[in-house]
Amino acid sequence: MIRVLLPAHLRTLAQVQGEVTVQARAPATLAGVLDALESRYPMLRGTIRDGLTQARRPLIRIFACERDLSHDSMQQPLPQEVVDGREPLLIVGAIAGG
């Protein structure tokens, strides 16, 4: 299971607390995790990636294993530590203030 930590506003929207876990088809990719996440929590559709283009929203960042995966291809395999659940995938709102 892949552990995902959502930003606080999206945890409220999805009515979850703490981390959520999803099962993504192997090889696990960011696109696969987001597919699984949006399937389980449909209210998150369009909030992390654009509903039409599927591109990451500009002020969303993706971190894992102390690395910034935001600009990697969504089809790239995720780090093994994320795949086997040792590390969470962090979905983060960019530092944008307001």
Query: For binding to other proteins (CB under 8 A), which residues are involved?
Result: 7, 9-10, 12-13, 42-43, 45-48, 50-52, 57, 59-60, 93-94, 96, 98
Judged by beta carbon, residue 57 or residue 79, the one nearer other proteins is 57
* Long-range CB pairs of 92-97, under 8 A, 24+ apart, other chains included: 92/7, 92/60, 92/61, 92/62, 92/63, 93/7, 93/9, 93/59, 93/60, 93/61, 94/58, 94/59, 94/60, 94/61, 96/59
Least Cβ distance, residue 92 to other proteins (angstroms): 9
Least distance in angstroms from the C-beta of 69 to other proteins: 17
Nearer to other proteins, 28 or 44 (CB): 44
Q: Which is nearer to other proteins, 74 or 92 (CB)?
A: 92
